[in-house]
Amino acid sequence: MYHLTGVTKCYRSGRQEEDVVRALDGVGLYVEDGGGLAVQGPAGAGKSTLLRILGGLERPTRGSVELDGTDLATVTECRLARIRAESIGTVLGEDELAPGLTARQNVAGALVPLRLRPADCWELAGEALAEVGLSDQQGLFPRELDEGARRRVALARALVKRPTVLLADQPTAGLDADAREGVADLFARLWSERRLSCIVATEDEALARRAPRRATLSAGRVTAITRCAGRDAGGHH
């Protein structure tokens, strides 16, 4: 699945050439097929940057980001766009639901780049919404859903294309306790039953605890990787 070596990402932080912030600093990481990961660390540690790089939305300044043998750091833009469309589901908070479309229309719309038959898109959207527990709300518009349900629609939109990996940035942030638990339950199911490789950046301990493995980031470096005890991690590394 993912194999990262020496991933460094620098951003310009001021006007001068030498004003740079090193958001990631030599990150090495291995995530096997079906292996889930919670990425933890304080604000500014580099979690969101790491997810954008894993998602092929940004390229590292240095290092390689292999996804199933293809280095996302160096593939052509065209190939990268295809990998993103087919294999990587993301909920990175950058794209809101379309307010004028129902939940099911929002989810079906995510399949447009894959050029499936409209009837198949509609069918798959219904299945994805069932998977996130929203079958009975699929005809509602985003404003008619509560925040927890909107987050789950966004997850359904990322899951509908059956990606090989799902990346989510702070999926429970700002939710009330019930909604947080609903989203955490969903990830627990994706991790342990579906064996989907979900990589989640989170400061939510209750969510992180349910991941098969956790990585701690601090100032752009991975400082610890731990296997979560207790839960059904199924021998995954």
Task: Give the interface with ligand ATP as residue ranges (CB under 6 A).
Answer: 11, 13, 21, 23, 41, 43-49
Smallest gap from residue 196 Cβ to ligand ATP (A): 22
Smallest gap from residue 153 Cβ to ligand ATP (A): 22
Smallest gap from residue 179 Cβ to ligand ATP (A): 20
Residue of 57, 60, 47 whose CA lies nearest to 4: 60
Smallest gap from residue 170 Cβ to ligand ATP (A): 7
Between residues 47 and 151, which has the closer beta carbon with respect to ligand ATP?
A: 47
Between residues 13 and 74, which has the closer beta carbon with respect to ligand ATP?
A: 13
Smallest gap from residue 9 Cβ to ligand ATP (A): 8
- Local structure of 53: helix, strand or coil: helix
Between residues 20 and 112, which has the closer beta carbon with respect to ligand ATP?
A: 20
Between residues 23 and 158, which has the closer beta carbon with respect to ligand ATP?
A: 23
Q: What is the rounded CA–CA span in Å between residue 120 and residue 41?
A: 40
Angle at the Cα of 118 from the Cα atoms of 112 and 119, rounded to 5 degrees: 140
- B/e letters for 92-128, b = 16+ CB within 10 Å, e = fewer, are beeeebeeeebbbbbbbbbbeeeeeeeeebeebbbeb
Between residues 43 and 229, which has the closer beta carbon with respect to ligand ATP?
A: 43
Q: What is the rounded CA–CA span in Å between residue 26 and residue 48?
A: 16
Smallest gap from residue 50 Cβ to ligand ATP (A): 7
Between residues 8 and 105, which has the closer beta carbon with respect to ligand ATP?
A: 8
Query: Strands 62-67 and 213-218, how do they pair?
Result: unpaired
Q: What is the rounded CA–CA span in Å between residue 20 and residue 14?
A: 7
Contacts of 185 (CB under 8 A, 6+ apart): none
- Local structure of 199: helix, strand or coil: strand
